[in-house]
Amino acid sequence: MEKSKKGEEPTGVRDVSLGALEALMQGADAQVIFDLLISNARQLAATGQGQQLIKMAPYMGDESESGLAIRRGFVMLGHLVDLDFDTAEALANQLYEEEKKNPVYDFLEKITNYVFAASAFARGDLTKTLQSIDGALNAPIITSDLGDADKINLIRLRSSVLMLLSDDSALEVQLEGATKIADESNQGDYGIHLMAIKAMLFHEKGEFIKAAELAKSVITSSEVYGYTGVTSAMDCKWVLARCTISFGKLDQAIELLEELKTEAEKSKIYTWYVTAESMILRILTELTRIREALDRSINLRNYITKFPKQYDLSWMADVGELYIRYRLNDLNRAKEIAARTPRIYYVNQIIEAMEAAKGKEFTKEQVMQLSEDSPRKKLWKYLYLSEFPTSKDFSPKQCMKIALEVGELTGARDIFMRQGNHHHNLIFQIANEEPSLFLEELSRDCLKRIKLRNESQLENEESLTSRELQVLKHLATGKSINLIGAELHISQNTMKTHLRNIYRKMGVDGRKTAVLKAQESFLI
């Protein structure tokens, strides 16, 4: 952090000799000391050298009331850099409450909110993250302000939250704001941060090729500069993994997400850990490895229960299970999950699919009115339109062609591979009539996905029916079989048939183990 100076892009970390600082102090050259420290502090923070920041703290302020508070602030930031979020947040709370009459309280308020934002994001509290970022960026400037690099870094963190919430319009505002700060700064180049924000925006708009290229650049540059912890490129590793999914390379995406999980857990930034694992659940489900996905969903639930409060980690786990339940046709559980989950883009898609299954589909006229203001929205619009029947003035094949053109330009492949027979047949027809390398490869990938689904058809057929799920839920009440049958208006013979099927499909030996397994699997 700094007072009146502007932020600057790293040119390498320079080791600071505390002995040299002592010599400078004895020479009473305080300004030289301050300039030396301030030029290194941000680099030490970016490269995870929190203990060095703490050692520097005594030199960051004089013996005045303001100077002593600034020293406390640097100790607080040192703990944040060391990923000791609990200590950093405790020190921030003390500073926030105890220094309200300090002449530089406006600056202290900004740096404490910086700590609150980073700590809240790490534990999965997205609401507190956004509130703290607003507090850091919007508080009035009386004595000092954050450095430009710190402001842009906070905007990057806000962008991560907005990306997780699928808010592409708000992401555009963040990029504009960060670019304005960078353009008006008289020192430094903030290329890495701006590229990261652009990568997130491109991904949310469905520009996957562009997003992946930028994400790779940020990841490489961050590794070169030694960025780690709260300043690492985990946001762009998430973007790269998501783009890899869109390219249809699901096994490779799982590897990237597992790497992200490892780094996130090491850094104690659990938002990325849970988000990555939740995405793996969705991939495993698409690969028809549903039993594995269900087991990992249970493990993820158990993982987040170790936290005193789960904040937004709970719905992040929900998103992963939602797709499993949808694919298992367990629509009651899927609806229950969707009802408590933020209406992010993906969740809305599942809700619309469930509504369509009940016959509550959009009309062609309604779909025609949908927005095309991003490649993602345009692709979905024309993919949806391709489901309507041919008429004198309407061609579903032409709609599919438009969707395919968007897919080829943006790198979107998996979205086509995930569709059903109707869409696949249109793709095959177009590929046959207008062959191209893209259509040839996409057709081959669609055939592989169809084969994978067919191979798992038997397993899918063994899913519990809605009636069997209803019986299973009643078993958990402890009521007698006769009473359950009477309440459900089921004969005793039919009840016996349902019970046999339930026990066989679940691989259990009776009522008690069926209920236990159902509770573990969140079936009831």
Q: Which pLDDT band holds residue 77 (cuts at 50, 70, 90)?
A: very high
Residues forming beta bridges with residue 394, ordered by sequence position: 391
- The per-residue pLDDT for range 211-230, each reduced to its tens digit, is 999 999 999 999 999 999 99
Q: What's the whole-number average pLDDT of the chain? A: 88
> What was the pLDDT predicted at 61?
79
pLDDT at 90 over 90: yes
Q: What CA–CA distance (Å, rounded) separates 146 from 135?
A: 12
Give yes or no for residue 1 having a pLDDT over 60. no
3-class secondary-structure state, position 28: coil
Question: What Cα–Cα distance (Å) separates residue 171 from each residue in 148, 156, 204, 216?
Answer: 19, 10, 9, 19
Check pLDDT > 50 for residue 2: no
Q: Model's pTM, two decimal places?
A: 0.84
The confidence score (pLDDT) of residue 369 equals 95
**CA-based nearest residue to 70, from 37, 39, 46:** 37
**Residue 77 · residue 115 · CB < 8 Å:** yes
Of 347, 412, 346, 348, which Cα lies nearest the Cα of 382?
A: 412
How many CB atoms are closer than 10 A to CB 466?
Answer: 10
Model confidence at 16, in pLDDT bands (50, 70, 90)? Answer: very low
Residue with more model confidence, 469 or 405: 405
**Residues 6 or more apart whose Cβ sits within 8 Å of residue 294:** 324, 521
Q: Binning pLDDT at 50, 70 and 90, where does residue 332 land?
A: confident
Mean pLDDT of 329-337: 89
Most confident of 33-42, 307-316, 447-456: 307-316
pLDDT at 13: 32
Q: DSSP 3-state assignment of 229?
A: helix
Examine the pLDDT at 56 and tell me if it is beyond 50: yes
Residue 391 in 3-state DSSP?
Answer: strand
Residue 283 has pLDDT above 80, yes or no: yes
Instruction: Summarize pLDDT for 453-480 with one digit per residue, the tens.
Output: 877 754 544 567 778 888 888 898 888 9
Mean pLDDT, rounded, for 168-186: 93
Q: According to the model, what pLDDT value does residue 12 have?
A: 31
User: What pLDDT score does 455 carry?
Assistant: 72
pLDDT over 70, % of the chain: 90
pLDDT over 70 at 411, yes or no:
yes
pLDDT at residue 507 in the model:
80
Say whether pLDDT at 521 is over 80: no
Question: 15 or 30, which is more confident?
Answer: 30
Output the DSSP codes for 464-518. Answer: PPHHHHHHHHHHTTT--HHHHHHHTT--HHHHHHHHHHHHHHHT-SSHHHHHHHH
Query: Quick check: 23 pLDDT over 80?
Result: no
Handedness of CA 32, 37, 43, 47 (dihedral sign): positive
